[in-house]
Chains A and B, each alone.
Chain A
Amino acid sequence: MTVRFWGTRGSIPTPGRKTEKYGGNTTCLEVRAGDTVLVLDAGSGIRELGDAWMRSATGPVRATLLFTHLHWDHVQGFPFFAPAYQSGNSLTVYGEDRAAGGIRELLSSTMRGDFFPVPLSAMRASLDFRPTTDEFQIGPLRIRTFKLPHPGGCLGYRVESTDGVLVFATDCELDLAAANQEDVRANPHVRRKFQPELIQFCTGADLLIVDSQFLDEEYEARRGWGHNPVATVVDLCEQSRPKMAALFHHDPQHTDEMVSALVTDAFGRLERLGVRDMLVFAAREGVTLRVGRPRPPAKLTT
């Protein structure tokens, strides 16, 4: 199983020189396991994904889109997803049922009236909209969902294949679900105690892609916005022990240097917690990774 990052930024696209390393497109991942193709979220990164598929396709596109939630930065690329306009293509679209409607109605509402000039009905691909459940199967992939603490709600996805486990936990503020949240608020350096269900959901991941939007010193002023400071992410990693962890949903205010600083902060806390056998890095647009146990690089000669 491989995963490619087409969009790693949170909140709003941030093009420009200051963000060119980690990327400015909002959330979109492409997961491949044999002939099975998943797309996780349709932030602005999905436009380039769709264009790449249109250039390289030798036959009809068949894929499954999984939505974590429908905040702008996770849906704004959907109307620009070219394969959806091509007859002969088949897309299955999963999203959580909400009080305002199912995934079809909600996506359609973003392409209606004053918001967008092309309606959902102009999409000529075969579109099969389905509500998410706790667990379901897509080809050889077993999918599990988990409700994450985020304003309006967000689903985490666990994708299990025969050769690896991917956990995608974007848009979450896990401090608000920690059993010792009052202690943590009084002293942010305190180790978080997470609910066993969350740890179970993440445990065994070869790759955990997790919301790490804020530097620790930024978090207090942004409490309640629905995103993690890096200390929280490190505590989740320490307790669930993924083999690799990708810090994700980069803050639109963060330059490449600030994202790199966030990784350095993560290293420091991991070391203080005694964790040394984990590869932690910042998710980066334009990178494809294999989901599995990473081999450390050869020792360099001088």
Chain B
Amino acid sequence: METCPTFLEGLNMSRSEAGAPIEAAPKTETVVLGPSPRFVGVLRWAKGTASLAPVTIELDEIVIGRQEGVAVPLNDEWASRRHARILRDGDEFVLEDLDSSNGTYVDGVPIVECILRTGDWIQVGRNLFRFELQLGGESRVEDVTTWLE
């Protein structure tokens, strides 16, 4: 049975690997011009031992903890030195617990890792934050339709 080349390309498979003939096929490509910056994450301190201004997450990684120099420093004996971090992956923001002693919680649930959504409550030590996604600029993603040979 003949395999579908477009489908296999979606799975990052080569046509030759799948044993299918190479044929002309219409294809829509999404071209991403650099990291997609449509949204920025904002971490708003809500309650606890710290009193922090909102942190806009524009870097690929920010760390929360007691260690001096981290993006979200906490004067909190319940927080580990490097307690948790937020990684940016395009428009997604992923919270990771860094093997902290007292855990990282999202909406009261202890997590190892969590893709954050707007409105999430994040607890680190004795501090509570609210996460928000905000529009942070124009889309840099373009749809390009071509007829490939």
What is A's interface to B at a CB cutoff of 8 Å?
Answer: 2, 4, 20-21, 54, 80, 82, 85-87, 117-119, 121-122, 124, 279, 281, 284-290, 294-295, 297-302
Contacts and interface: CB of A to CB of B under 8 A. Distances in A.
Interface of A is mostly: loop
Contacts of A122: 3, 18-19
Contacts of B11: 80, 82, 85
B124 to A, nearest CB: 9
B110 A85 contact: no
30 contacts: A4-B113, A21-B117, A54-B12, A85-B13, A118-B3, A118-B7, A118-B18, A121-B1, A122-B19, A279-B109, A281-B108, A281-B109, A286-B114, A287-B109, A287-B114, A289-B110, A290-B110, A290-B112, A294-B110, A295-B102, A297-B103, A297-B110, A297-B123, A298-B102, A298-B125, A298-B126, A300-B123, A300-B126, A301-B47, A301-B126
Given A85-B11, A117-B7, A289 B126 contact: no
Closest 3 CB pairs of A and B: A286-B115, A117-B4, A288-B113
Nearest to B105: A297
B112 A2 contact: yes
Nearest to B116: A286
A18 B13 CA distance: 33
Contact of A302 (B47, B94, B108, B117): B47
Interface residues of B, number: 38
A254 to B, nearest CB: 16
B111 interface: yes
Contacts of A21: 117, 119
Contacts of A119: 1, 3
Contacts, number: 88
A82 B13 CA distance: 8
Contacts of B123: 297-298, 300
A54 B127 CA distance: 37
Nearest to B117: A21
A118 B11 CA distance: 12
B37 interface: no
Contacts of B13: 82, 85-86
B127 A300 contact: yes
A295 B103 contact: yes
Given A82-B12, A122-B18, 8 more contacts: A85-B13, A86-B13, A117-B2, A279-B109, A295-B102, A298-B78, A298-B123, A300-B128
B17 interface: yes
B22 to A, nearest CB: 16
Highest count of chain B CB atoms <10 Å: which of A122, A285, A289, A302 = A122
A48 B89 CA distance: 14
